[in-house]
Chain A
Amino acid sequence: MGPQEKPRVAFFSFTCCEGCQLMVLSCEKELPDILKHIKIVNFREAMSEKSDDYDIAFVEGSISRRDEIKKLKKVRKQARVVVALGTCSSTGGLNCLKNRYPMEEVKEAVYGKRAALSYKPIDTIPARPIDAVVEVDYYLHGCPISKKEFLSFLTALLMGKKPDTVNHPVCVDCKMAGNICVFEKGGHCLGPVTRGGCDAICVTYGTWCWGCRGPVDNPNIDSHRETLERYGLTAEDVAKKFALYGECGGGRKC
């Protein structure tokens, strides 16, 4: 990249719903300004052109096939900065639920008995976050990511500032929003151990924290398990609650 050139930005998508790319696209108000500072060269959700010449790679999705490993390594080789975009990419996400079963069983469940047998080229490996395969420079959490966080990350990166990663539990966002505690209302929530930065929208709109952003840096998982049981969940319910976004292990990478 020459001194006057804008950084070239690429978006890549692996195993996921591509909802995080949609969140980027929904920044309609800010994108015209942003595009004065970057050049997007790869963005499947938004354009047909492709380029192998880029500086910053936003990588969405977890890795669940062998060919994805190869592709991701190529991205890492090219990009100066690799950003994990969203939960699947950052912590493995929902996709890791399949890791509890033998891969043949998983294939069969999705494609049917005959399809699983006859469709040999389908390859599936235990799902994993992208940092299980390559080195990652930055993480944007959330299922999907928060627009606000994406924009503040990008502006910080472009200005040469250290991007701010939220490391407080969702409880902080929840109290800031003035919510009544989910437990007080008779529900069960993963807020106390889950990374915030989401403005606690799930609780604000009437549900509870599902744990989509993964745990904070040093979560007290054992204590929160006890809390959930004290508030009436069985050990099995508790395990299920943590499994949804945490099958990669409470805070560990698989």
Chain B
Amino acid sequence: MEKIPKFKYLPDRALNSLVNGLLREYKVCGTIEKDGFPAFGEVSAADELKLTQSPTHLSAKGFLFPQREVLLRFDMRTSAHVPVIEAERQVLFGLHPCDIRALALMDRIFAHGVPDPNYLFRREHTIVIGADCMPDEYCFCESLGTDDVDEGFDLFLHRTGGGYLVRVGSERGSALLEKYARTREPGKAALKELDAANERRRLAFRAKLDAAPEELPAIYAKSDESRVWERIGAICTGCGSCNNVCPTCYCFDVKDEVGASLAEGERVRTWDGCTLEDFAKVAGGHNFRKTRAERLRHRFNRKFRYLSDTFDSLFCVGCGRCSRSCLVKINIADVTNELIRENAGA
């Protein structure tokens, strides 16, 4: 059997031709620069794509689970209602390993129980191209084992000297590469460079968890009464940013919006978040999680405990986005480490 090389080598200018090729066929969403910061956005020309090793502030979840999407159009005069399931063929370009891991979790969530046709249809039409990264002070994916990926992407790009070492993750990815970019076999120097870069990255993690990921559900289960919750609840403003930047927070609200005709309207789904005051408020005004402390405890448990029963997986990928965006400096790794410490003696 012919030995299939693990990597292809893609010189810089070939990356441009790959992006240009993709732009002809797909909507391309990728890492761009926004106000001088790395962010995900739609790419309309190859030079707008800025592959970045730094984490983006917002995740890429909005391209599959939009901030606002129409689920249904209706007309109350005739009781007609038409489901709306829309998807463009799209490429998500520049996802880091944590983002790809998060996508895999979202896939499971939206396929679980009653499958969500809107998400799944969009997902089916989405090509994923990953890119490597360097951790900042908030990244702790290494502690969760989500710092690398072997699947969940069509192509994955590793930066080396004058180009990229490309891992092919699917036949679709292989075909795209063949169609749009001239690759060659990687030289030994490039492979060596990759090993060195991986080692540099491994040493660059500053945020770490002090327990193994599989221990975390049990630690959280014993931490309901921890004083941590009151302390962070006192400084939390309940702004919901941790939910909105999180690549695995998938909660939503559904509302009917009726137009000025008072007859035609749309059923709309928008992001919602469990740290917001009205999230657990029900008819009659009762709020199941009245305080910010309760709401934060709930969110942390959703990441490290509650969902692991159903999915046998943690729902935090260690991207650090919630800590990075928190204006009062509630840090998910620090909080988790504090609970680990509290439980160490017990």
Contacts from A to B (Cβ < 8 Å): 27, 30-31, 33-34, 36-37, 151-152, 155-156, 158-159, 164, 167-169, 171-172, 175-176, 178, 180-181, 183-185, 191-193, 216-220, 223-224, 226-227
Contacts and interface: CB of A to CB of B under 8 A. Distances in A.
Interface string B255-269: 101111110000000
Interface string B208-242: 00000000000000000000000000111111110
B244 A185 contact: no
Given A176-B68, A184-B57, A223-B236, A171 B260 contact: no
A151 B260 contact: yes
B238 A181 contact: no
B23 interface: no
A172 B68 contact: no
A180 B39 contact: yes
A172 B58 CA distance: 12
Contacts of B58: 175, 178
Given A176-B67, A227-B327, A171 B236 contact: no
Interface stretch (B160-168, B184-192, B193-201, B272-280): B272-280
A240 to B, nearest CB: 19
B63 to A, nearest CB: 11
A171 B62 contact: no
Given A33-B260, A192-B237, A168 B276 contact: yes
A120 B188 CA distance: 92
Contacts of B96: none
Contact of A220 (B36, B238, B271, B276): B238
Interface residues of B, number: 39
B3 interface: no
A158 B68 contact: no
B247 interface: no
Interface string B44-86: 0000000000000110001000011000000000000000000
A224 B260 contact: no
B261 A192 contact: no
B37 interface: yes
Contact of A158 (B41, B235, B257, B262): B262
Contact of A181 (B234, B236, B276, B325): B325
Contacts of A216: 238, 277
Contacts of B344: none
B113 to A, nearest CB: 26
A171 B241 contact: yes
B37 A184 contact: yes
